[in-house]
Amino acid sequence: MTATVPTRALQSGRPGARRPSRMGPRTEATLRIVAPITVGAVVLGVWQFLVSVVGVSDYLLPSPASILEELAASWDSIVSATLITGTNALVGLVAGTLLGIALAALAARWNAVDRMSAPVIAALAVVPIVALAPVLNSMFGADSQFGRQAIAAIASFVPVFVNTLRGFRQTKPVHRELMRAYAATPGQVLRTLTLPTARPFILTGIRIASSLAVISALVAEYFGGPRGGLGSLISTSAASSAYARAWAYVVASIALGLLFYLATLALERLVVRRANPGGPR
């Protein structure tokens, strides 16, 4: 999912790169929307068929219809659970992003910081959420959401940091020399050159981090702490054999992840409209 959207944007943005097609542009656009919907409908149809006609056990696989029923029945609790998990993910995403950008700025400015932080970043990048969640939960107490937010922050921090640092290194020599010739202060260089150059990279980092933040906030709930979030409700429902309800919460989780992804994608489109023009400079 992460990869398909930018690829498609790239193709539609560059007419020369598009493969030759016998279809008209309008047919192609319609097909692009209709095709995935059709695939989805067929999958749901087969699913429903398997459960209601073939007779796959409802314990094994609840039918789409029953999941939909559960979704409507426990709508209020689903909304509140989504809000709790969404808030945790958002807090973590924002904190991780700010931390990632700030540390990347330091690392770009001083090589020593870069070298000191490299192993720490590498370690953070491979930390399994599963391993951290119980530890943080017991650190911050069983009634605090802070542990989950911290986990989401750690998960978002890594891609933001890595991408931002790369972005900060994209400034061209001619631009840097121009800034030197203008006797620009470090703050001015950051504001007028380094940040705008890094902007598309930072936003890509945030977009990747957004999905990770939701997943981490959700998974962290499996490991204790206060109830009420999507993750804890999925595990509770599954444990009490309410499989259709568990699936309903899963559907809500998917919607939440998509919401985060699309919001950051929109932000990226909005801010980077002008950041990467082609042609000679």
Q: In the complex, which residues of this chain contact other proteins (CB under 8 A)?
A: 172, 174-175, 177-178, 180-184, 188, 192-193, 196, 199, 274-281
Say how many residues make up the chain: 281
CB of 169 to other proteins, least distance (A): 17
Q: Are 141 and 187 in contact (CB under 8 A)?
A: no
State how far the Cα of 195 lies from the Cα of 176, in Å rounded to an integer.
13
* Helix or strand holding residue 10 (H, E): helix 4-13
Residue 249 CA, chain-centre distance (Å), reads 18
CB of 170 to other proteins, least distance (A): 12
CB of 171 to other proteins, least distance (A): 10
| Nearer residue to other proteins within complex by CB, 196 or 228 | 196
| Nearer residue to other proteins within complex by CB, 87 or 197 | 197
| Nearer residue to other proteins within complex by CB, 32 or 172 | 172
CB of 144 to other proteins, least distance (A): 42
- Copy the structure tokens of residue 2: 């992460």
How far is the first Cα of the chain from the last one, in angstroms, to the nearest whole number?
A: 33
CB of 177 to other proteins, least distance (A): 6
| Nearer residue to other proteins within complex by CB, 194 or 232 | 194
Residues contacting 243, CB < 8 A, separation 6+: 58, 59, 62, 237
| Nearer residue to other proteins within complex by CB, 22 or 281 | 281
Residues contacting 187, CB < 8 A, separation 6+: none
| Nearer residue to other proteins within complex by CB, 196 or 226 | 196
Going from the C-alpha of 253 to that of each of 133, 214, 218, the distances in angstroms are 19, 8, 8
CB of 224 to other proteins, least distance (A): 47
